[in-house]
Amino acid sequence: MTDKIARFLEDRRPATPCLVVDVDMVEDAYLKLRELLPAARVFYAVKANPMGPVISRLARLGSNFDTASRNEIDLCLTEGATADRISFGNTIKKEADIAYAWDKGVELFAFDSEAELKKIARAAPGAKVFCRVLMECEGAEWPLSRKFGCSPEMAADLMVMARDYGLDAYGLSFHVGSQQTDLAQWDKALASVAGLFSVLRERDVDLRMVNLGGGFPARYRAKVPPLEAYAEAVNEAVRKYFGNNIPELIIEPGRSLVGDAGVLQAEVVLISRKDASEGKRWIYLDVGKFSGLAETMDESIKYRIRTPHDGGETGPVVLAGPTCDSADVLYEKTAYEMPLDLAIGDKVEILATGAYTTTYSSIAFNGFEPLKTYCI
């Protein structure tokens, strides 16, 4: 937690739950990534945190943007990005939305199927396209699984088709899975993609770009390698498989740019036990799965939590949200300990919550307000 966020919470005493995002930390994370991977153009994955001040700061710093919908495109344009710095990176788009983006000046489109490629050829003739290749996502705490991408064999055929449709067969993309903890995954992915570059060269399609997606980490409970190690793994794999013929590189960080910049303050609503003989306390917060902490689904993302009694004796707890849905339990299987002195009414801070929280918050389930966010 930065001094700036601590001071804001102290001075303003905002109603909870609320998320406070320190936009200077987003800037620091962006500049550090640029420094570590200078050859790559950054396309910030807007879905990670689409708050206006985050987008406008990144736009001012020269970032490009990876968007998934009309609204995200409009948001980036409003906040100061130009259309040539926006990629329509969702592989699942309505043809009318492709036409809308093309009309606004967006030139770069993703696809992973023949039907999507045909839509782009019709609605954005001559556009730059890249095909997303399917990855295993092993080692990722928030895997993106089989929903996106196609097999390398299919990707090769589709890129040939893209050229034949009059599109600019620009490159290939992958995503190794979000919060990826296994650095070897980039090596695997780049080996596969470099192989496709060769295959396609033989079929007279000269690709020029590799989009390495996201996957860089935020700081949750488990230790992860430093960002330097990630950059080294990427740089090494690029050199190993492309040698002196390095293509244009794109990265699409989301979590690593905004995750650590956010602190979610919540209040303890209830502390109880299911039986007098049970040691484990149930701690209910005023924030849960439906008010921003959706990534606790399957207990995937394990946040760090600060309390006013840290340092004191602790005991095991189940952590849950405030709604009347029994799915609204944050951690039950994962061992979490909280101070025995924790009391109803105490404020707790859930750290590194700047990514994938605000927009996951439901509108009014059980009448609870969407997560309020302050960008400072």
Tokens of residue 7, six digits: 């001071």
Shortest Å distance, C-beta 252 to ligand PLP: 4
Note the Cα 29 to chain centre separation in Å. Answer: 14
The answer to whether residues 109 and 97 touch, using CB atoms and an 8 Å cutoff, is no
Shortest Å distance, C-beta 144 to ligand PLP: 7
Select 64 or 178, whichever has its Cβ closest to ligand PLP: 178
Q: Which of 76, 131, 150, 324 is catalytic?
A: 324
Give the residue carrying structure tokens 């788009």. 93
The answer to whether residues 149 and 132 touch, using CB atoms and an 8 Å cutoff, is yes
What are residue 133's DSSP bridge partners?
Answer: 150
Residue 288's nearest CA partner among 363, 361, 367, 179 is: 361
Select 178 or 358, whichever has its Cβ closest to ligand PLP: 178
Tokens of residue 124, six digits: 């954005």
Shortest Å distance, C-beta 256 to ligand PLP: 6
Shortest Å distance, C-beta 69 to ligand PLP: 12
What DSSP letter does each residue of 88-148 carry, written as one string? Answer: E--S---HHHHHHHHHHT--EEEE-SHHHHHHHHHHSTT-EEEEEBP---TTEEE--GGGS
Q: Collapsing DSSP states into helix, strand and coil, what is residue 68?
A: coil
Shortest Å distance, C-beta 244 to ligand PLP: 28
The residue ranges that bind ligand PLP (CB under 6 A) are 45, 47-48, 66, 89, 175, 178, 213-216, 252-256
Residue nearest to ligand PLP (CB): 214
Select 116 or 252, whichever has its Cβ closest to ligand PLP: 252
Whole-number Å distance between alpha carbons of 43 and 67: 9
324 catalytic per annotation: yes
Q: What share of the chain is helix, strand, coil (3-state, %, to 5)?
A: 40, 25, 40
Shortest Å distance, C-beta 218 to ligand PLP: 8
Whole-number Å distance between alpha carbons of 7 and 261: 15
Whole-number Å distance between alpha carbons of 315 and 335: 10
Select 215 or 321, whichever has its Cβ closest to ligand PLP: 215
Give the active site residues.
Answer: 324
